[in-house]
């Protein structure tokens, strides 16, 4: 691979920069702070990216959001590729521009393809071999031991012979998939997964068994509740029927009582109506005997009473005249007072009879009539002395008496007392008859006696039916205390049955929910647990076999690893011999891949060498490692002031080596030393 161009936008100190490279030696010369290290870092960031790359490399002070790198390179087969990494959008893409059509997106895939183009299997192999930053010539072979070993394996067994390291990695990966890692305590592997599944199944089994016990308990509670419910429902039915019979009997008795009251009322009405009709017939017969007084007008009665009053007044005048004109009570005066009181009694009796108080009215009328008769008899005075005045008064009294007789004759009455008594009697009977008729109409209520008697017969029939129903009642033999006890038990039993039904429904719902949520039954979990145990045993056995195979591969890899150090040492010795002008002609690398230089005085560790000689040793080792890993790919060597501590002779030797390298691969050397511009190659000046 060789880089052909690099373009930066708002990266580091550059707002815009485009650099073209040749295929051989490229010398990028410039003072400190000119951006040499920035350009070198841009190549690495473009290839492999960098965390927080935007925050670190975006040009300070710019208002533009852009920050990107574009690298163009060419492979040995002539294919040209363009790699563009947009740090602002965190986006990278690799596109083949010639020699085919290919496009790769995403940081992982791009890094993988770039490593393949470089011939270096990891980014670490790139930064520990051909990519040398200023002051960091010392290589860390331990970090790229895997890459070195893989290359030695391919050299030993051939390109088609497979990779022992790859096999070991595959076995390690397989073992991890099977048994997990120590740090993960078995987690992540199939064994760990099976153990976790087994633990989960055991926990699930315990939960399922507990759930099964809970289910059984719920079933027992449900069965107990249902049995109790059936028992109490049966008892409730018996009590309900019994109490219903009791209530039916009580209802019949209440109906009987009501019918008895209605029947008695109707019977009383019938009996009263019949009695009143008998009484009415008697009254009507009695009134027929008093038919002469039927048409007596109230005016005639008033005339008689007025004339009687005038007659009493005349009697008083007559008495006064007989006594010489002095007003005194004559012997006839008291009878007239009796007569007046009798008339008043008759009038009062007639009024009471008209008001419906027949008995008292009749009594007063009788008393009044007797008083009139007595007053009339007593009112006859003794033969007074004859004088003109007395004669006149007597004439007036005779006239009044005649007028009274005329009125009585008009109505057919024989005497005053009989007239008043019979008239009062007739009125009293008429009022009594009217009252009886009115009372009957009220009792019949617009009907008839026959209808009332028919209704009474219906009530009697209903009473007979209720009597028969009462005889058929089953609770007839229970005492009131027993009836009260059954009713009280029923009042308690109803809510208890309702509570039992709710409890049954609740338990049934809980059981249904439990069955839905409890998961698989314990027997299924036990079967699965047995299967997982068998799989766990097989997996552990397989993991043990893989571990044994990995150990065997490891022993083979250890043998191959022993070849890595000699391979690097042989190549590095050639470079170191040229760099030190033969002073150190050999490089030794121990099992830990730590290099040492061998000179006339023997082996000298890198830490014991001068800074310049140590840099020469590490430079030689880096070149040897790059040659070993990359093989025929020939990645570009990118050096940032690697010869700072070289003296002029060794710098000259480095120049020769670099020139030789540039014939085989691309070399990009960054330096502040202006003398490097005389080296053969393309010079790129930075201000």
Model pLDDT, residue 296? 57
Cβ pair 21, 662 in contact under 8 A: no
On the 0-12 / 13-18 / 19+ scale of CB atoms within 10 A, 383 is exposed
352 pLDDT band, cuts 50/70/90, is low
- Judged by average pLDDT, the poorest of 135-144, 294-303, 313-322 is 294-303
pTM listed for this prediction: 0.46
Q: What is the mean pLDDT of residues 609-618?
A: 86
Report pLDDT for 330. 44
User: Which range, 70-74, 389-393, 640-644, has the best average confidence (pLDDT)?
Assistant: 70-74
pLDDT at 534: 87
Is the model's pLDDT at 586 over the cut of 50? Answer: yes
Q: What is the pLDDT of residue 241?
A: 75
Nearest to 145 by CA among 592, 547, 571, 577: 592
> pLDDT tens-digit profile of 292-310?
666 555 556 667 667 777 7
| Three-class secondary structure assignment of 1-42 | CEEEEEEEEEECCEEEEEEECCCCEEEEECCCCCCHHHHHHH
What sign does the dihedral 392-396-399-405 (CA atoms) show? negative
The reported pLDDT for the residue numbered 468 is 75
Percent of the chain with pLDDT over 90: 17
Residue 326: is its pLDDT beyond 50? no
Q: Which of 38-42, 158-162, 586-590 has the lowest mean pLDDT?
A: 158-162
pLDDT of residue 197: 82
Q: What is the pLDDT of residue 10?
A: 94
- pLDDT: is 630 or 11 the higher one? 11
List beta partners, residue 131: 638
Q: For the residues of 76-103, what is the DSSP string, one character each?
A: TTS-EEEEEEETTTTEEEEEEEESS--E
The pLDDT of residue 26? 94
The span from the CA of 22 to the CA of 35, in Å, is 20
How confident is the model at residue 39, as a pLDDT?
94
Burial of 392 (C-beta count, 10 Å sphere; 0-12/13-18/19+):
middle
pLDDT tens, position by position, 50-106: 988 888 999 988 888 899 999 999 998 899 999 999 999 999 999 999 888 889 999
For residue 157, pLDDT beyond 50: no
- Burial of 380 by CB count in 10 Å (0-12 exposed, 13-18 middle, 19+ buried)? exposed
Query: How sure is the predictor about 224, in pLDDT bands with cuts at 50, 70 and 90?
Result: very high
Supply the pLDDT for residue 331.
Answer: 44
DSSP state letters, 118-151: HT-SSHHHHHTTTEE-TT-----GGGGHHHHHHH
State residue 164's pLDDT score: 58
| Helix intervals (H) in 158-189 | 164-179
Please write the tens of the pLDDT for every residue from 547-585. 777 777 666 666 655 667 788 888 889 888 888 888 898
Q: Give me the mean pLDDT over the 29-47 stretch.
A: 93
pLDDT in tens, 447-460: 888 888 888 888 78
pLDDT band at 410 (very low <50, low <70, confident <90, very high): low
pLDDT at 149: 61
pLDDT digits (tens, 9 = 90+) for 192-218: 788 888 888 888 888 888 888 888 898
* Per-residue pLDDT tens over the stretch 459-516: 788 778 777 766 666 554 667 787 788 778 878 888 888 998 898 899 888 888 877 7
Q: Taking 80 as the threshold, does the pLDDT of residue 258 lie above it?
A: yes
Where does the pLDDT of residue 334 fall: very low under 50, low under 70, confident under 90, or very high at 90 and above? low
Buried b or exposed e, range 408-441, using 16+ CB within 10 angstroms: beebebeebbebbbbbbbbbbbbbbbeebeeebe
Q: Tell me what pLDDT residue 158 has.
A: 46
Q: What pLDDT is attached to residue 84?
A: 96
What's the mean pLDDT when you consider all of the chain? 80
What's the average model confidence in pLDDT over 160-183?
A: 64
Using DSSP, state whether 245 is helix, strand or coil: helix
Q: Which of 114-123, 239-248, 528-537, 670-679 has the lowest mean pLDDT?
A: 239-248
Q: Is the pLDDT of residue 329 over 60?
A: no
Name the range with the highest mean pLDDT among 3-17, 120-134, 305-319, 350-364: 3-17
Distances (CA, A) of 253 to 258, 263, 484: 8, 15, 17
User: How is residue 28 written in tokens?
Assistant: 């990028």
Least confident stretch, 372-376, 514-518, 625-629: 372-376
pLDDT of residue 372: 66
**Per-residue pLDDT tens for 99-126?**
888 899 999 999 999 998 988 888 888 8
pLDDT, position 520:
77
Give the C-alpha separation, 62 to 12, whole Å.
11
> Which residue is it, tokens 């800074």?
611
Check residues 195 and 184 and name the one with the higher pLDDT.
195
pLDDT of residue 181: 61
């Amino acid at each position: 691979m060789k880089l052909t161009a690099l373009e930066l936008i708002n990266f580091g100190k550059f707002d815009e920069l485009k650099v073209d490279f040749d295929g051989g030696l490229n010398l990028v010369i410039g003072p400190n702070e000119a951006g040499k290290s920035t350009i070198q870092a841009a190549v690495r960031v473009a290839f492999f990216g960098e965390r927080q790359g935007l925050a670190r490399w975006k040009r300070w002070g710019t208002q533009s959001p852009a920050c990107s790198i574009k690298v163009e390179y060419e492979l040995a087969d002539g294919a040209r590729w363009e790699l563009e990494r947009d740090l602002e959008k965190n986006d990278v893409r690799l596109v083949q521009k010639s020699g085919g059509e290919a496009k790769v997106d995403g940081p992982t895939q791009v890094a993988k393809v770039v490593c393949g183009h470089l011939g270096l299997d990891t980014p670490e192999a790139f930064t520990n071999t051909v990519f040398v930053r200023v002051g960091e010539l010392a290589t860390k072979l331990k970090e790229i031991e895997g890459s070195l070993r893989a290359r030695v394996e391919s050299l030993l067994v051939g390109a088609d012979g497979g990779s022992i390291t790859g096999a070991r990695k595959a076995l390690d990966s397989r073992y991890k998939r099977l048994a997990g890692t120590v740090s993960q305590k078995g987690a992540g592997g199939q064994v760990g997964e099976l153990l976790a599944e087994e633990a989960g199944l055991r926990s699930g089994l315990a939960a399922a068994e507990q759930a099964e016990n809970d289910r059984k308990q719920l079933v027992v509670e449900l069965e107990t509740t249902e049995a109790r419910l059936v028992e109490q429902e049966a008892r409730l039915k018996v009590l309900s029927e019994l109490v219903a019979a009791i209530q039916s009997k009580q209802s019949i008795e209440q109906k009987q009582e009501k019918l008895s009251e209605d029947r008695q009322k109707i019977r009383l009405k019938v009996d009263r109506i019949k009695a009143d009709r008998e009484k009415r017939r008697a009254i009507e017969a009695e009134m027929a005997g008093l038919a002469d007084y039927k048409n007596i007008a109230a005016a005639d009665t008033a005339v008689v009473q007025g004339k009687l009053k005038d007659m009493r007044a005349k009697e008083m005048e007559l008495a006064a005249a007989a006594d010489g004109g002095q007003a005194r009570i004559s012997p006839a005066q008291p009878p007239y007072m009796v007569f007046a009181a009798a008339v008043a009694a008759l009038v009062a009796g007639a009024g009471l009879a008209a008001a419906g108080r027949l008995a008292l009215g009749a009594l007063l009328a009788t008393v009044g009539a007797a008083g009139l008769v007595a007053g009339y008899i007593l009112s006859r005075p003794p033969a007074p002395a004859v004088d003109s005045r007395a004669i006149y008064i007597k004439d007036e009294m005779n006239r009044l008496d005649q007028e009274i007789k005329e009125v009585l004759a008009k109505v057919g009455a024989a005497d005053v007392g009989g007239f008043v008594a019979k008239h009062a009697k007739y009125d009293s009977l008429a009022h009594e008859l009217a009252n009886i008729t009115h009372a009957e109409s009220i009792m019949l209520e617009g009907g008839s006696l026959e209808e009332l008697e028919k209704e009474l017969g219906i009530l009697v029939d209903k009473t007979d039916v209720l009597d028969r129903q009462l005889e058929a009642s089953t609770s007839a033999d229970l005492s009131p205390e027993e009836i009260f006890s059954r009713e009280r038990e029923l009042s308690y039993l109803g809510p208890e049955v309702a509570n039992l039904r709710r409890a049954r429904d609740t338990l049934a719902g809980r059981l249904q929910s439990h069955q839905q949520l409890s998961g698989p039954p314990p027997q299924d979990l036990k079967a699965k647990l047995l299967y997982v145990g068998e799989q766990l045993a097989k997996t552990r056995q397989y993991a043990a076999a893989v571990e044994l195979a990995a150990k065997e591969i490891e022993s083979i890899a250890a043998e191959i690893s022993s070849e890595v150090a000699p391979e690097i040492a042989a190549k590095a010795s050639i470079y170191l011999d040229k760099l030190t002008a033969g002073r150190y002609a050999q490089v030794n690398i121990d099992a830990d891949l730590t290099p040492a230089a061998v000179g006339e005085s023997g082996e000298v560790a890198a830490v014991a060498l001068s800074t310049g000689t140590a840099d020469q040793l590490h430079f030689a080792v880096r070149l040897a490692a790059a040659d070993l890993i990359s093989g025929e790919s020939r990645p570009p060597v990118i050096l940032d002031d690697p010869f700072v501590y070289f003296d002029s002779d060794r710098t000259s030797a480095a120049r020769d080596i670099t020139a030789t390298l540039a014939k085989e691969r691309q070399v990009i050397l960054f330096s502040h030393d202006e003398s490097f511009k005389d080296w053969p190659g393309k010079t790129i000046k930075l201000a």
